[in-house]
Amino acid sequence: MTGFLDAIIQGILLGGLYALFATGLSLMFGVMRLVNLAHGDLIVLAAFAILAVAEKLGADPFVAVLLAAPVLFAIGFGLQHALLNRTLGRDLLPPLLVTFGLSIIIQNGLLQAFSADSRRLRSGAIETASIPLGGDIAVGVVPLLTLLSAIAVIVVLNLIFYRTAIGRAFRATSDDLEVAELMGIDVNRTFAIAMGIAFVVIAIAALYLGLRANFDPTIGPVRLLYAFEAVIIGGLGSFWGTLAGGVILGLAQTIGARIDPEWQILSGHLAFLVVLAIRPRGLFPRAVD
Partner 1 sequence: MEAGTTTPKRSYRIETADRVSRTAAVLAALLLLVLVLLPGFAGRNLIQDLIFLFYMMALAQCWNLLAGYAGLISVGQQAFVGLGGYVLFALTLIGGVNPLLAVPGAGIVAAALALPTALIVFRLRGAYFAIGTWVVAEVYRLVFAQVKPLGGGTGTSLTPTVTSSVPGIEWIKTLFDVRTPAARDIASYWLALALLVATLVFVYLVLRSRRGLALGAIRDRESAAASLGVDIDRIKLAAYVATAAMTGMLGALIYLQKARISPDAAFSVLDWTAYVIFITVIGGIGTIEGPVIGAIIFYLMQRYLADFGAWYLILLGTLGILVMLFAPRGLWGLVAGRYGLTLFPTRRRLVVDEDDGNRP
Partner 2 sequence: MQLLATQQLTAFYGDFQALYGVDIRLDAGETIAIIGANGAGKSTLLKAIAGLIPSPADSVLLDGIPIGAKRAADIVRLGVALVPEGRRLFPSLNVEENLLIGGQASKHAGPWTLDRVYRLFPVLKERRSSAAPILSGGQQQMAAIGRALMSNPRVLLCDEISLGLAPIVIADIYAALPQIKAEGTSVVLVEQDIAQAMKAADRLYCFQEGRVSLEGRPGELSRDQIHHAYFG
Residue 186 interacting with partner 2 (CB under 8 A): yes
Of 30, 31, 5, 39, which Cα lies nearest the Cα of 228? Answer: 39
CB closer to partner 1, 111 vs 129? 111
Residue 181 partner contact from partner 2, partner 1, none using kind-dependent CB cut-offs of 5 to 8 Å: partner 2
Q: How far is the CB of 32 from partner 1 (least distance, A)?
A: 11
Residue 159 interacting with partner 2 (CB under 8 A): no
Scanning 86-94, 163-171, 175-183, 200-208 for contacts with partner 1 by CB under 8 A, the matching segment is: 86-94
Q: How far is the CB of 231 from partner 1 (least distance, A)?
A: 9
Q: What is the Cα–Cα distance from 165 to 169, expressed in whole angstroms?
A: 6
Q: How far is the CB of 179 from partner 2 (least distance, A)?
A: 5
Scanning 9-17, 52-60, 83-91, 151-159 for contacts with partner 1 by CB under 8 A, the matching segment is: 83-91
Residue 88 interacting with partner 1 (CB under 8 A): no
Residue 97 interacting with partner 2 (CB under 8 A): no
Show the binding pattern over residues 54-73: x = contacts partner 1 (CB under 8 A), - = does not: --------------------
Scanning 91-99, 137-145, 159-167, 247-255 for contacts with partner 1 by CB under 8 A, the matching segment is: 91-99
Q: How far is the CB of 281 from partner 1 (least distance, A)?
A: 9
Out of 113, 152, 155, 179, which residue is the one contacting partner 2 (CB under 8 A)?
Answer: 179
Distance of CA 18 to the CA centre of its chain: 7
CB closer to partner 1, 87 vs 158? 87
Sign of CA dihedral 204, 210, 216, 219: negative
Count of residues that interact with partner 1, criterion CB under 8 A: 42
Q: What is the Cα–Cα distance from 2 to 19, expressed in whole angstroms?
A: 25
Out of 8, 141, 187, 265, which residue is the one contacting partner 2 (CB under 8 A)?
Answer: 187
Task: Report which residue type is found at 80.
Answer: Q
Backbone angles phi, psi at 33, to 5 degrees: 55, 30
Q: What is the Cα–Cα distance from 83 to 110, expressed in whole angstroms?
A: 20
Residue 117 interacting with partner 1 (CB under 8 A): no
Kindly list the residues in this chain that would bind partner 1 in the complex (CB under 8 A).
35, 37, 83, 86-87, 91-98, 100-105, 107-109, 111-112, 221-222, 224-225, 228-229, 232, 262, 265-266, 269-270, 272-273, 276-277, 280, 289
